[in-house]
Structure 1
Amino acid sequence: MNATDRTPADLLRSALASDPARPFVTFYDDATGERVELSVATFANWVAKTANLLQGDLGAGPGDRLALLLPAHWQTAVWLLACSSVGVVAEVGGDPAAADLVVSGPDTLEAARACPGERVALALRPLGGRFPQPPPGFADYAADVPGQGDRFAPYAPVDPDAPALAVDGTELTGAQTVERARADAATRGLGPGSRLLSGLPYDTWEGLSAGLLAPLACGGSVVLCRHLDPADADGLAKRRESERVTATAL
């Protein structure tokens, strides 16, 4: 990571430049048995496509506010970095009625309908699958994102000192987000090559940091676990061993 990186999108660009092939996000859903592993390059490609969708098809730009109604999931991580790439403020669990656009999972569609702007729905199915039938009033992310461009360039420069992330009642700029993520990585003893297993939800800073931002800030990677049972000590030990985990956040 470079000292000049001042937004999460900057951190991802540096990771892509330094070691694109290394694993970055390994996602488990213990309710479905799903496992997905994304290298830095693959993750960055998803981010570029999503940022193009956000900026182009959805007409979002710097300062717009996006209510992000998604659980801890690899596609949520993609959306967070896409928002950073465009300059859109990602409001995790934000009020759809007060947002310019909303991104919703299958369990929050009714709440998301309050958004007066563009609405995007994610099925959160294994392998990024589509809805069997798109929800009325929503664009189906899995149907719309594959055709987007593999490279992204913002129409306007992203200001690292502008609001970038709102979570758990706190709003942070891009620069503040990077600073806090770096501090968290240092506190956890993370560095290049670290593998942090996180079973925390994304609705707090601690969850976002452990499940994405701190590993990104230090050149590490994350094993993101949804529906993890912390009481299953044997299962957790086996996963830590198989995934070469160096730190845990539960």
Structure 2
Amino acid sequence: MNATDRTPADLLRSALAADPGRPLVTFYDDATGERVELSVATFANWVAKTANLLQGDLGAEPGDRLALLLPAHWQSAVWLLACASVGVVAEVGGDPAAADLVVSGPDALDEARACSGERVALALRPLGGRFPQPPAGFADYAVEVPGQGDRFAPFVPVDPQGPGLAVGGEELSYAELTARAREDAAKLGLGTGSRVLTGLGYDTWDGLSAGLYAALASGGSVVLCRNLDRLSPEALAQRVESERVTHTV
């Protein structure tokens, strides 16, 4: 990663330039048996499409606040980087009634309806599948995102000092977020090629750092596990070996 990178979007661009084919996010859901692996290039493509949806179709602008009502999931990671690409503040678990936009998983739709702005729903089905029946009052992410452009350019350059992320009662600018991710990576001993396995949720900074930002800041990758408590110790040890995990959080 480059020392001049000051936002998560900068970190992703540097990762793409360095080695687009390496894994970045490997996602498991141990309740469904789902496994998805995204290379840097594939992840960046999802981010570009989502950022284009956010900026174009949804009309989001820098400084707008997006309530992100999603669990730890590869699509949640995509939305976090898409927000950073546009300059939108991602409020993890934020109040939809106070937000300009809301992005919700299937379990939070009733709560998300309190948002008076644009609403997007994710089915969180394997392979990014759509809802069998789109929820009333929501755009179905899986329907809207495929037709978006594969390249993204913000209408307004993202200010690294602008608000970027709100989680656990704390708000960070993009520059603060990036600096803290680097610090966490150093504390964990992460570097190029590191593989971090984590079962932490995305509702705290520690979970977001372990499950996305620290690896992105260090040239590493993430094995993000949802419902990890359903896995036996033997199965977990096998996963650590098969995924070539170097660090567990």
The one-letter code sitting in structure 1 at the alignment partner of 2:240 is: R
CA contact (8 A) 2:30 2:231 kept: no
Deviations 1:138-180 (A, max 9, x none): 0000000000000000000100000000000000000000000
Give me the whole-angstrom Cα distance separating, in 2, the residues matched to 1:238 and 1:46.
29
- Within 5 Å, give how 1:108-187 maps onto structure 2: 108-187=108-187
CA contact (8 A) 1:230 1:236 kept: no
The one-letter code sitting in structure 1 at the alignment partner of 2:28 is: Y
CA contact (8 A) 1:198 1:248 kept: yes
For 1:244, the equivalent position in structure 2 comes to 244
Deviation at 1:229, TM superposition (A): 1.6
Deviations 1:167-204 (A, max 9, x none): 00000000000000000000001000000001000000
Kindly, what percent of the aligned residue pairs are identical?
A: 81
For 1:199, the equivalent position in structure 2 comes to 199
Q: What are structure 1's unaligned runs of at least 5 residues?
A: none
After superposition, the CA RMSD in angstroms is 0.7
Deviations 1:101-146 (A, max 9, x none): 0000000000000001000000000000000000000000000000
The one-letter code sitting in structure 1 at the alignment partner of 2:126 is: P
SS of residue paired to 2:244: coil
Give me the whole-angstrom Cα distance separating, in 2, the residues matched to 1:241 and 1:200.
19
CA contact (8 A) 2:30 2:230 kept: no
SS of residue paired to 1:124: coil
For 2:42, the equivalent position in structure 1 comes to 42
Give me the whole-angstrom Cα distance separating, in 2, the residues matched to 1:50 and 1:2.
24
Task: Count matched residues.
Answer: 249
Give me the whole-angstrom Cα distance separating, in 1, the residues matched to 2:211 and 2:243.
15
SS of residue paired to 1:210: helix
Structure 1 segments, 4+ long, off by >4 Å, are none
For 2:3, the equivalent position in structure 1 comes to 3
Alignment TM-score, normalising by the size of structure 1: 0.99
Give me the whole-angstrom Cα distance separating, in 2, the residues matched to 1:117 and 1:231.
39
For 1:190, the equivalent position in structure 2 comes to 190
For 1:23, the equivalent position in structure 2 comes to 23
**Mean Cα deviation higher: 226-235 or 191-200:** 226-235
**Mean Cα deviation higher: 222-231 or 120-129:** 222-231
